[in-house]
């Protein structure tokens, strides 16, 4: 029935996100495998307590280009997950954009929060979902990328415009801030997956139970 189809869609989405997030945690099994692994063991992100962690062997026989690609994917998924997690908290706290979301006069808060806003009987119209996907696609293709070729590291999308004082930082401060972003992104990936899974438990308040504390 319809509810089973919706649940299957959500489960498929969660599984796909899990697989992509796994690639983010820069990989390795045993230092014995190949000499190429040792080249990445001191890269940014190989931090205590796990160190250089590669349970699925993504970096076995990998070169620098492969590593940079995985690091770019990790950063992108982490940034998206941080936005998604904050969005969950904000909307479930009752904060929504003012005005109407469509020409029919439906307000933003008239739709459910979380995954239910995309899948289910009360989800936003298909046209709205297509617009969201199209907007994200435009950002991916033309904005969230190294347009000018001036990037210092994978995921550097300043493009000579958005700096926020980055060029005033020393090398160690830059590394520390990049490590903070990696860790926050990794935590957010796990956090948003946890919220998405909790949404599927009937009667579970997700995070609403904590709002009163």
The confidence band for 201, taking pLDDT boundaries of 50, 70 and 90, is confident
Residue 80: HSE in the Cβ half-sphere, 13 Å Cα cutoff: 16
Give the Cα-Cα-Cα angle 27, 29, 33 (nearest 5 degrees).
Answer: 110
pLDDT at position 213: 42
Rounded to an integer, what distance in angstroms lies between the CA atom of residue 176 and that of residue 158?
18
Of 20-29, 52-61, 70-79, 146-155, minimum mean pLDDT range: 20-29
Mean pLDDT, to the nearest integer, of 170-194?
A: 93
At 62-112, the pLDDT tens digits run: 888 999 999 999 999 999 999 999 998 898 888 999 988 888 888 999 998
At 35-46, the pLDDT tens digits run: 456 778 888 888
Rounded to an integer, what distance in angstroms lies between the CA atom of residue 93 and that of residue 69?
36
pLDDT at position 34: 44
Residue 157 backbone phi and psi in degrees, to 5: -110, 30
At 109-122, the pLDDT tens digits run: 999 888 888 888 88
Q: Which of 30-34, 100-104, 181-185 has the highest mean pLDDT?
A: 181-185
Rounded to an integer, what distance in angstroms lies between the CA atom of residue 47 and that of residue 41?
10
Are the beta carbons of 13 and 6 closer than 8 angstroms? no
Cis? peptide before 200, omega within 30° of 0: no
pLDDT at position 8: 60
Q: What is the dihedral of CA 195, 198, 203, 204, to 10 degrees?
A: -60
Rounded to an integer, what distance in angstroms lies between the CA atom of residue 33 and that of residue 1?
49
What is the average pLDDT value for the chain, to the nearest integer? 80
The confidence band for 27, taking pLDDT boundaries of 50, 70 and 90, is very low
Rounded to an integer, what distance in angstroms lies between the CA atom of residue 26 and that of residue 51?
10
């Amino acid at each position: 029935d319809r509810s089973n189809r919706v649940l299957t869609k959500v489960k498929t989405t969660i599984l796909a996100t899990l697989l992509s997030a796994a690639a983010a945690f820069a990989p390795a099994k045993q230092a014995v495998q190949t000499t190429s692994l040792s080249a990445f063991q001191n890269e940014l992100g190989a931090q205590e307590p796990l160190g250089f962690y590669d349970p699925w062997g993504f970096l076995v026989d990998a070169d620098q280009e492969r590593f940079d690609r995985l690091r770019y994917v990790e950063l992108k998924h982490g940034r998206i997950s941080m936005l998604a997690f904050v969005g969950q908290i904000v909307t479930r706290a009752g904060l929504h954009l003012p005005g109407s979301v469509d020409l029919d006069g439906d307000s933003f808060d008239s739709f459910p929060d979380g995954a239910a806003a995309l899948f289910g009987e009360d989800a936003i119209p298909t046209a709205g979902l297509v617009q969201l996907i199209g907007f994200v696609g435009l950002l991916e293709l033309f904005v969230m990328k190294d347009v000018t070729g001036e990037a210092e590291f994978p995921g550097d999308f300043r493009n000579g415009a958005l700096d926020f004082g980055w060029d005033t930082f020393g090398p160690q401060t830059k590394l520390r801030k990049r490590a903070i972003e990696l860790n926050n992104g990794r935590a957010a990936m796990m956090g948003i997956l946890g919220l998405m899974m909790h949404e599927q438990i009937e009667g579970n308040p997700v995070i609403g139970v904590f709002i009163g504390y």
